[in-house]
């Protein structure tokens, strides 16, 4: 069960953006990252993206070894959550509203795997927290993902879900910020190459074509002058 925490098997780390942990979770099924394979993968991913502390992951790893069937149930729930969120958020990008049945399935999954939220007094004001539930302990990696998903689904962030416009990239992200919403998951990995290609097609290529035409015309003129002599 033990597996090194952090980047998994050489796959690119899909960095959590704008607090959208649920979208980062959906991105584990993208072309740029292999889907999580088992409960150990789920724990490693959770630590990498701040959904669990390393200490919590170690404790859950020991618990999973003691209760393998419960760990399998926890991972099966994670796969179901991934499928539902992928269907919902990719549908949003494609302009399709989620089906009522999909929302019912998501609600049923959350009811059996995520403990109820309870209102507690924080440092400055009341706040929502998930109640501790030992019977659902091995489902704990799902809790912050589910919380992130419900926050996006029930707020204006739902309308800001985007799919990267980079060539060969299908990562989802939240297009937050002022001004024009960004079109890429990352300016460095996808935005710069696309902008560079557009600059080449718009500026460099026409300039080179014009220079080639000028040189060809000069060559013809010189040839004509030589033939005339």
Specify whether the CB–CB gap between 71 and 140 falls below 8 A. no
Q: Is pLDDT of 21 > 90?
A: yes
- Domain ranges (residues) in the chain: 21-181, 186-229
Average pLDDT over residues 165-174: 86
CA dihedral 113, 118, 121, 123 (to 10 degrees): 20
Average pLDDT over residues 171-181: 75
Q: Which of 37, 71, 188 is nearest to 141 (CA)?
A: 71
Minimum mean pLDDT range among 21-30, 32-41, 123-132, 203-212: 203-212
Q: Is pLDDT of 195 > 90?
A: no
**Between 68 and 207, where is the model more confident?**
68
CATH 1.10.3300.10 corresponds to the domain 21-181: yes
Q: Percentage of the chain with pLDDT > 90?
A: 51
Please tell me the distance from the alpha carbon of residue 94 to that of residue 190, in angstroms, as a whole number: 20
The string of DSSP codes covering 152-195 is: HHTSGGGGGEEE--STT---EEE--SSSSPP-SS-IIIIIHHHH
Average pLDDT over residues 29-34: 76
pLDDT tens, residue by residue, 116-144: 888 888 888 888 888 888 888 999 999 99
pLDDT tens, residue by residue, 47-94: 999 999 999 999 999 999 999 999 999 999 999 999 999 999 999 999
Average pLDDT over residues 166-187: 76
Confidence of residue 202 (pLDDT cuts 50, 70, 90): low
First-to-final CA distance of the chain:
86
**Between 97 and 220, where is the model more confident?**
97
Q: Is pLDDT of 201 > 60?
A: no
Confidence of residue 175 (pLDDT cuts 50, 70, 90): confident
């Amino acid at each position: 069960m033990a597996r090194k925490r952090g980047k998994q098997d050489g796959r690119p780390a899909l960095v959590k953006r704008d607090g959208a942990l649920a979208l980062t979770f959906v991105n584990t099924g993208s072309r740029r990252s292999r889907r999580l394979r088992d409960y150990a993968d789920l724990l490693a991913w959770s630590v990498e993206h701040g959904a669990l502390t390393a200490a919590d992951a170690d404790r859950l790893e020991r618990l999973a070894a003691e209760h393998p069937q419960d760990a399998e149930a926890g991972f099966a729930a994670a796969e179901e959550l991934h499928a539902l969120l992928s269907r919902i958020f990719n549908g949003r990008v494609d302009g399709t509203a989620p089906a009522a049945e999909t929302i019912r399935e998501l609600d049923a999954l959350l009811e059996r795997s995520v403990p109820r939220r309870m209102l507690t007094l924080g440092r400055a004001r009341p706040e929502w927290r998930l109640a501790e539930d030992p019977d659902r302990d091995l489902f704990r990696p799902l809790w912050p993902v589910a919380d992130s998903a419900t926050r996006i689904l029930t707020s204006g962030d739902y309308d800001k879900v985007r799919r990267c416009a980079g060539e060969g990239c299908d990562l989802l992200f939240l297009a937050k910020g002022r001004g024009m919403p960004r079109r890429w998951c990352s300016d460095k990995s996808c935005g710069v190459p696309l902008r560079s290609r557009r600059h080449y097609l718009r500026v460099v290529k026409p300039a080179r074509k014009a220079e080639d035409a000028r040189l060809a015309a000069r060559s013809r003129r010189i040839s004509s002058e030589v033939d005339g002599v």
